[in-house]
Amino acid sequence: MAYNSRFAVAIHTLSLLDSTEGRITSEMIAGSVNTNPVVIRRMISQLTKSGLLRTQPGVAGAQLTRPAGEITLLDIYRAAQNEARDELFAIHDNPNPNCEVGRNIQQELEQVFARAQRAMEQELEQITLRQITTDIQQMEEVRQAIRS
């Protein structure tokens, strides 16, 4: 089962906006993400509602509302999750209450998964969008150097 890719698409979108001079359209972002522009427009809408982006009616493109060095991956994660606030891991419904494991597994997993969620969020809070775009630029420079 693949986990939802909204978070990765949000980082991709914001990385493009940070690393590109001027405004870029949802079509251009969609070309980089390799998805439909409608998906990108929805993501831009979510990121705008969360306060990470600014858009103007009738003007193509979006802009970061603050410097990339002040936007953490936790900010992006929370924005991409929207109001759903999906947990990192889901617990299956309706285990067998007549089974020793079945009647206790949900309570145990809730505690374990909550610790894992907190650890992940603490890690994401330490990484900024600027670090991501800087790493991407460095990777591209290495790629170009190898090709030369």
Average of per-residue pLDDT values in the chain = 91
Q: How much is the pLDDT for 82?
A: 67
Is the Cβ–Cβ distance between 37 and 26 less than 8 Å?
Answer: yes
pTM of the model: 0.87
CB-based contacts of 71, cutoff 8 Å, min separation 6:
14, 52, 64, 128, 129, 130
pLDDT at residue 1 is higher than 50:
no
Cβ of 24: how many Cβ atoms within 10 Å?
18
φ, ψ of residue 63 to 5 degrees: the values are: -130, 150
